[in-house]
Amino acid sequence: MSTMPNTDVLSEPTITDSLITIEQVTLAYPTATGAPVQALRPIDLEIADGTFVSLVGPSGCGKSTLLKILAGLLRQSEGVVHLGGRELSGPSPDVGVVFQQPVLLPWLTIVDNVLLPIRVQKRNVAQYRDRAMDLLRMVGLDGFEKRYPSELSGGMQQRAGIVRALVPNPRILLMDEPFGALDALTRERMNDDLQRIWSEERKTVFFITHSIPEAVYLSDRVLVMSERPGRIVADFSVDIERPRRLDATGDPRFQQTATTIRGLLNARGGID
C-alpha cells in the first residue's frame, strides 16, 4: 500500500529478504463472561532485514500486543511468525526489546545492567564488556558505568535500556514507545542518537510510537494500525535520504507523509 515511489535503495526490500514474517496472526483474550475479546485481527506483515519500521495507531489498538508477540512474551491465538526463517516459539536471543520504561534493576550498576542479557544467555561476559563500553560511550554514558540507575536522569536511564538491548548484538530491535515518558527536548536528542546507532549497527527495528513526526523522522516505513481489534490499515515508505537531520522535519516530503498519516488517523477517530 505504498503511497510513494521507492527511491531510497536502503528501503527497497525484496520479499525474499524479509527477516520478520507475520502471517495471519490474531490474538484473542479469554474473558470471565465467556466471549473472548479480540485484540488483534489477522495481521500480515513482512519486514526486510535492516529496515526501520514504525507502527502508529490509537491507544489500546494492540500495537504493544503485536510487539509482545514478536518478543515471544505473548503467544498468538492463530497464525505464524517467522524470524530469520525460523518459526517463533518464545523469546529469541536474536531479538532485543526496549520498553517504555527503562526497567533497569536498581541493585545493579549501569554496566552490570547492560551486561544482564549476556549473563542470562550464559555467554562469555568478558567478550562483551568492550562492546558494552563502546555502546555506552556512543550514547554518552561513559563515566557512568559504575553508577546505579537511581543516580541517572530518565533520559540517561532510557539510553542504558537501549544499550542493554543492543549489547548481545541481536538482529532485531523491538521498541515499545521508548521515548514516550521523556520531555520533548530529550526526546529529540534520543531520536538523533537512535538514528546514529541504527546507521552504525544496521539492526532491523520495529518501533512503536504515538508521535507521527518521530515515526516519519526515524523510519523507512510507517505502518498505521486501526483501533481495537487492531489491524494494519496503511503502510507508507519514507523516502528521505539519510542521515536525516532534525531540520529534515521541514522537508516537504516529510510534511506530506506526516500530514497523510495524521489525516488517516483522524478519519479513523484520532491517535489518542
Partner 1 sequence: MSANIAVRAGQGAARERRAARRRIVPGDWVAVIATFVVVVGAWEAIVRIGDVSEIVLPPPSMIAQSLYDGLVHGTFLANLRYTLTETVLGFLIAAVLGIGLGALVSEVRWIRRAIYPYIVAFQTVPKIALAPLLVIWFGFGMTSKVIVAVTVAFFPIIVNTIEGLQNTDQQRIDMIRAMGAGKVETFRRVKLPSALPYIFAGLDAAIVLSLLGAVVGEFMGARAGLGNQILTFNAVLDISGSFAVLVLLSLIGYLLHLVLVLIQRRVVFWTKVTSTSSGV
Q: Report the chain's terminal Cα–Cα distance, integer Å.
A: 24
72 or 213: CB nearest partner 1 = 72
Q: How far is the CB of 120 from partner 1 (least distance, A)?
A: 5
Q: How far is the CB of 70 from partner 1 (least distance, A)?
A: 10
83 or 216: CB nearest partner 1 = 83
Q: Are 39 and 28 in contact (CB under 8 A)?
A: yes
Using the structure block, give the residue that is written with the C-alpha cell 489498538: 61
Q: Are 221 and 12 in contact (CB under 8 A)?
A: no
Per-residue contact string for residues 29-68; x = within reach of partner 1 by CB under 8 A: ---------------------------------------x
* Helix boundaries (H) for the chain: 63-70, 110-114, 116-120, 125-138, 154-166, 184-201, 212-218, 252-267
121 lies in the site for partner 1, by CB under 8 A = yes
Q: Spell out the SS3 assignment of 149-178.
A: HHHCCHHHHHHHHHHHHHCCCCCEEEEECC
13 or 168: CB nearest partner 1 = 168
Stretch that binds partner 1, among 8-16, 115-123, 228-236, 253-261 (CB under 8 A): 115-123
26 lies in the site for partner 1, by CB under 8 A = no
Task: Please tell me the count of residues contacting partner 1 according to CB under 8 A.
Answer: 24
Query: 32 exposed, middle or buried (CB, 10 Å; 0-12, 13-18, 19+)?
Result: exposed
- Other residues' Cβ atoms within 10 Å of the Cβ of residue 101: 15
151 or 241: CB nearest partner 1 = 151
β-strand 86-87 against 232-237: which pairing, if any?
A: unpaired
Q: How far is the CB of 95 from partner 1 (least distance, A)?
A: 7
**Euclidean distance between CA atoms 255 and 267, whole angstroms:** 18
In the region spanning residues 63 to 102, those forming contacts with partner 1, defined by CB under 8 A, are 68, 71-73, 90-93, 95, 97, 99, 101
Stretch that binds partner 1, among 42-50, 105-113, 135-143, 258-266 (CB under 8 A): 105-113
In the complex, the residues that contact partner 1 under the rule CB under 8 A are 68, 71-73, 90-93, 95, 97, 99, 101, 103, 105-107, 116-117, 119-121, 148, 150, 168
